[in-house]
A = this chain, B = another copy of it.
Amino acid sequence: MATEPLTAERILEATEEVLRRYGPAKATVVDVARVLGVSHGSVYRHFRTKAALREAVTSRWLSRTETVLAGIMEGEAEPGPEKLRGWLLALFDTKRHKAGDDPELFATFSVLIDESSDVVDAHLTELAHQLTRIVEEGVREGEFVAADPASAAGAVFAATARFHDPAYAPEWRKPTIDAEFTAVCDLLLRGLRA
């Protein structure tokens, strides 16, 4: 282990592991250093404070969703309505898998998110940007009508909060949730279509 160079990425992986194991209240920088077999000073050379480390790990966690969604946004083959639906479904799926597959880590990140409003704002800005690009593209192709694509994208994001806002995570296990998602998507796509 000591032969691998100590990168920021390795520290963030170890931090996520330590957070999963001890929870956000108990996890310390010393725990992270111990997992990596280095001194805590070495960790602090990459992240100057415990808060900076926690912000970076939260940002990394949220950026995984952004990367998946960016792949859909950049796809060229699909027509606008399918792309928009695919993007919304991928957002919902990523969030509910995070919530369902690893509830401890999800609870941990819910705590971290509450303490890192800048990181969350950056995440929401990136998602709004991607959604606006999809709406703009659909308008250019004559598939969507939207006088103000950014405002229409904001309305779509707000109208689907039930399917991405972590506050609704307990509802995501309901057997009717997929039908609800489809009904909301159908209505929004009908509202956007040219």
Chain A positions near chain B (C-beta within 8 angstroms): 151-152, 154-156, 158-162, 167, 179-180, 183-184, 186-192
Contact = CB atoms under 8 A, between A and B. Distances in A.
Contacts of A161: 161-162
Interface centre among A152, A162, A180, A183 (most CB of B within 10 A): A183
A167 B170 CA distance: 13
A156 B180 CA distance: 10
A67 to B, nearest CB: 26
Nearest to A179: B151
Q: Is the interface of A mostly helix, strand, loop or mixed?
A: helix
Contact of A154 (B152, B158, B183, B189): B183
B155 A180 contact: yes
B159 A188 contact: yes
A138 B179 CA distance: 23
Contact of A162 (B156, B158, B179, B187): B158
A52 to B, nearest CB: 27
Nearest to A147: B186
A180 B186 CA distance: 20
B183 A155 contact: yes
23 contacts: A152-B183, A152-B187, A154-B180, A154-B183, A155-B180, A155-B183, A155-B186, A155-B187, A158-B162, A158-B183, A158-B184, A159-B160, A161-B161, A161-B162, A186-B191, A187-B188, A187-B191, A188-B188, A188-B191, A190-B190, A190-B191, A191-B191, A191-B192
